[in-house]
Amino acid sequence: MKLIRFNEGRVGIVDGERVFDVTDIVGADPQAWPPTDICRVIRDFDSFRPAIATRLATGASVPLQAVRLQTPVPWPNKLMAYPVNYHDHAVEMASRGLANVQGYFLKSNSSLCGPADPIELPALAGREVHHECEIALVIGKEGRQIPAGKALEHVFGFACLLDMTIRGKEERVFRKSYDTFTPVGPWIVTADEVPDSANINMKLWVNGELRQQANTRDLIVDIPQMVAIASSASTLYPGDLIATGTPAGVGPVRDGDVVTIEVEHIGRMEIKVVQGTRGANVVFEKPYEFVRAS
Ligand code: MN
């Protein structure tokens, strides 16, 4: 199933080009703050499946085009991300900081945004903000020290994810945590609809020009190992997000660009880029030039 949040906190299921509102079935409160209801919905999702199936068969629906999609999990307990996780991107960045050497890092949860939200470039003269095409793993079952062999039992589903990044030598968390730097969506596809998570194609275009493409078979740290490594340090909770790392082809985006990400079996989203007026600080005053290694 394709699980969405839409129209200010409602919960829905997308079936073809139709949206079925299941807010009542899952017991979500669109007014709740903080907006953490979806984490419980994900944890308990199997118990809602029969009622959802009935709703899809007999209930009212609205066109997908008529709703405003929101980021599926706005307040996860954690937003974890793997660094350089494809060999071609390691070459491009002349990086030794591979995912199998460094493990994961955290991004600010407040960097999350949805498919209808533009990426706001901070007002940092001379700095490049790069697109990184990735997949989000959505954790469905709590666990610690999860063995790789059981990892997929803890994955609720998948979504498209952009890990936007200011290039530079400053703290990685800082460069990646600006508001709108982690678009996720357009929905969560439940894991039962992805036939083989070790064989997912993904592509990214800027203004229609193909910039990145990869398949999860080429990951340095594969999806089960990502869950194993992350859960060795921290308890994973339902709704936690893990970004899988990007392949080669990263590059700058500018005001007015449209970034399109498409992940096989999952979906596609088109995100606008706008120049913002906020974001300057003393740390980023020193210029930095990004030099591609190959
Ligand atoms: Mn990344």
Report whether pLDDT(94) > 80.
no
Q: From ligand 1's centre to the CA of 143, what distance in Å?
A: 24
More confident residue, 286 or 237: 237
Q: What percentage of residues in the chain have a pLDDT greater than 70?
A: 99
C-alpha 220 to ligand 1 mean position (Å): 13
CA of 15 to the centre of ligand 1 (A): 30
- Give the Cα separation of 244 and 267 in Å (integer): 16
CA angle 125, 270, 121 (to 5 degrees): 15
Give the pLDDT mean for 65-75: 98
Confidence band of 92 (pLDDT split at 50, 70, 90): confident
Q: Does residue 231 register a pLDDT over 90?
A: yes
Two structure tokens written together for 41: 């919905």
How far is the centre of ligand 1, averaged over its atoms, from the C-alpha of 81 (Å)? 7
At 294 the pLDDT is 59
Confidence at 176, pLDDT banded by 50, 70, 90: very high
Q: Indicate if the pLDDT at residue 91 is higher than 90.
A: no
User: Measuring CA to CA, how many Å separate 52 from each of 1, 21, 87?
Assistant: 10, 9, 42
Sketch the domain layout of the chain as residue ranges. 2-70, 79-278
Distance from the alpha carbon of residue 11 to the mean position of ligand 1, in angstroms: 28
Query: What is the DSSP code string of 171-211?
Result: -HHHHH-STTSEEEEEEEEEGGG-S-TTS-EEEEEETTEEE
CA of 28 to the centre of ligand 1 (A): 31
Q: Is the pLDDT assigned to residue 268 strictly greater than 70? A: yes
Residue 38 has pLDDT above 90, yes or no: yes
How far apart CA 73 and CA 114 sit, in angstroms, is 9
Residue 185 Cα to ligand 1 midpoint, Å, equals: 16
Q: How far is the CA of 163 from the centre of ligand 1 (A)?
A: 5
Q: Supply the CATH classification number for the domain 79-278.
A: 3.90.850.10
**What pLDDT is attached to residue 44?**
98
191-202 pLDDT, tens digit per residue, is: 999 999 999 999
Please give the pLDDT value at position 128.
96
Q: Which residues surround ligand 1, an ion (CB under 5 A)?
A: 132, 163, 246
Average pLDDT, the chain: 96
Q: Give 52-59's long-range contacts (Cβ < 8 A, gap of 24+).
A: 52/1, 52/13, 52/20, 52/22, 52/25, 55/13, 55/20, 55/22, 55/25, 56/13, 56/15, 56/20, 59/20
CATH 2.60.120.20 for domain 2-70, yes or no, is no
Tell me: pLDDT of 101 over 90. Answer: no
What is the distance in A from the centroid of ligand 1 to the CA of 250? Answer: 10
Q: What is the mean pLDDT of residues 176-205?
A: 98
- pLDDT recorded at residue 234: 97
